[in-house]
Structure 1
Amino acid sequence: MLPPRRLTKRRLIASATAAAAIATGIIVTGQANGLPTNMLSSDKADSANAEAVADTIPLTLKNNSGRDEPVHVYVIGTELASGTQGYADESGAFHAWPGGGAPPIPAPDASFEGPKNGETKTIQLPKFSGRVYFSYGDKLEFQLAEGGLVQPAVQNESDPNHDKLFNWTEYTLNDSGLWLNSTQVDMFSAPYSVGLTSGDGSTKETGKLKPGGYKAVIDGLKEQGGGWENLVQTREDGTPLRVLAPGHATGNGSLPGDVLDDYINRVWEKYQNEELTVTPFKEEPDTKFTGKVNGDKMDFTDGSGQVVTSFEKPDSDSVFGCYKKLDAPNDKVRGPISRTLCAALNRGTLLTNNQQPDADNSGFYQDKVTNHYARLVHGQMEDGKAYAFAFDDVGAQESLVHDGAPKDATISLEPFE
């Protein structure tokens, strides 16, 4: 069962105790960043599914990449039964991380060999909330800080994994089923798709690029100009390694920090004289909030006319990251409004539709000032689905497969074409 108000991927902010590791990577503390994170604490398991979902399920890794380098695979995250961070081996057995340090210390090698090009390999996927990493050629370097695991942060040129070719998928497997997604929230890199076999024997797949889609995203950003070409990171020999998500690019200065300001200013001007209606819960059509700009803030009122929350005019980074001035707590008012507003600002639909969220994706990314990274990534997916920013699941645009009683799962490494 899908949780009724599922909050999506958010940037994980390092705690003060792990400040020394902020420049290196993302600190995974407590609930790891699987999907969906709020299920770990607020959603009760369905009793029927609890019996149906085994402690591990088969995960078949398929290598259709066309590359000859060895593939290294990692299954890391939080063991849901204990709440302990660690990693799993090929059999699905859990291994807790040892204690970290300040500065961070090297983590144990959690990798195992993946399938060779043209081959498959089946492992056991445990009840985790976490990630499955895969790298080509070189192994990844993970570190342990006092606050938890430090994961790769390739927006930082000094990160030891910056010049390595890798990617990851995110998942949660618990008593209520499996949620497995492809993600481009941080970067677009080594292409892959995800899938599963449902309890009824049907199959689901998402995240697969169109033929030529990998190259089309890279070339499209290079042709866009205006700083968008700087999102593409390459090796010294010119081989593309990845495309950074625009939030990281504004953070390191490779994309202008005001790249969305023109659109944001036009939105704020429009809603000085008009009202924006947000209906954040599809299953609750009568729950509506009305937004109107008052000075530099957009105030939202409930059905009684009382102001329930306000948003300062966001900057581009707030929009790309769905945080800072668009912070979205896990509540029933500000969070749902913020995620709807953030999705609309990324997709460029607020000037054409004052009823949000917009269910018609034909109008997405049509303004000349928009999230061109998300535009290109979505445009090159076979099913149009992607996780190109944190709240890309608003309106069910995300690249996610889910089943309450999955038989198995797949991760397919796709061609670099």
Structure 2
Amino acid sequence: MAALKYAGLDDTDSEDELPPGWEERSTKDGWLYYANHIEEKTQWEHPKTGKRKRVVGDLPYGWEQETDENGHLYFVDHLNKRTTYLDPRLAFTVDDNPSKPSTRQKYDGNTTAIDILQGCDLTGKVVIVTGANSGIGFETARSLALHGALVVLACRNVARATEAMRKILDEWHKAKVEAMTLDLSSLRSVQRFAEAFKAKNLPLHILICNAGVFASPWTLTADDLESTFQVNYLGHFHLVQLLQDVLRQSAPARVVMVSSESHRFTDIKDTSGKLDLNLLSPSKSEYWGMLAYNRSKLCNILFSNELNRRLSPYGVTSNAVHPGNMMYSALHRNWWVYTLLFTLARPFTKSMQQGAATTIYCATTPELESLGGMYFNNCCRCLPSQEAQNEVTAAALWELSERLVQERAGRLAN
């Protein structure tokens, strides 16, 4: 502990800081002891607090413990190719007999994806991340792959996905990553992706629906739907529908839907209170890019809640997340106003690693095992808008989505 920071976390209290000349060390069985270099003595108790502490948990993924020729322990970080005599777990030591419980939140808006995965071994887990070639999606996929998961980068541009895969392998040659083509603006492409994935006979433990477009010019997809609605929402709906049998067979499994706080500033029902397809997939004259984005993100939360209600009895849970405010990513390229706003707000925004944290939290943290139907921001559960919590609207959206896909089923079969 002392002044150690590991993976962005500082787990020290001021009262635990060591006096000058003292050093913290650990034994092979995890107990801490303290060396006084001035008086040349060692002791078990902390020189200021009198507490005994121990190291807990497995080493962070990629680390190994070795012994040098003098019998001293040292630690090898294979991911970053470095060695140290300082146990990387010292940032997470605990009191052997704590006098009072800690009230500090474990993770927050400053937490990174790598922070959350500290000590996590995902070997044997299979993950799909849509839109994984850049931005938050790339950091999500990278973080999972560096901790042992087999990660499928599901992207529209396979060349960019392959380049993203190469970057991950350059960082750690043992990473298990694959690139597959998935164009969410085409239901046929979604169908082909699902068929290709199933042909691999792999389980699917985590499905992260991350891909999205923002403030795009009005266009219709090949399925005659407004592109923001289809890419951000309906394409993911169809993907989950096609893969739900694999998810169920792989249970416990998780789905994470990337939404946005902007879902709070819109509605998807008409004045009579019914779902209105003209609001979800508007004509060119009724289209405003920001509003279309907000509506698609509201759909994501409603879908996540309904998906959890339907599949949680089978061991598949779903949660929705907000990654962060005003984050610089490829999403901004379609709207110069967003670029300007980001330039002004950049000192206060999250990094891509921080943006991926809440997704990683919902995808992997043990405390959410078997829990779903929730919305998270800054790795903390919060309530979405009242409309996003409307179970009747969620069920109606599901039925409408099934109908939209079924109406195009004949076209998909050709």
TM class by shorter-chain length? under 0.3
Larger radius of gyration: 2
Higher share in strand: 1
Higher RCO, 1 or 2 (CA under 8 Å, sep at least 6)?
A: 1
TM-score, normalising length: structure 2:
0.27
Higher share in helix: 2
TM-score, normalising length: structure 1:
0.27
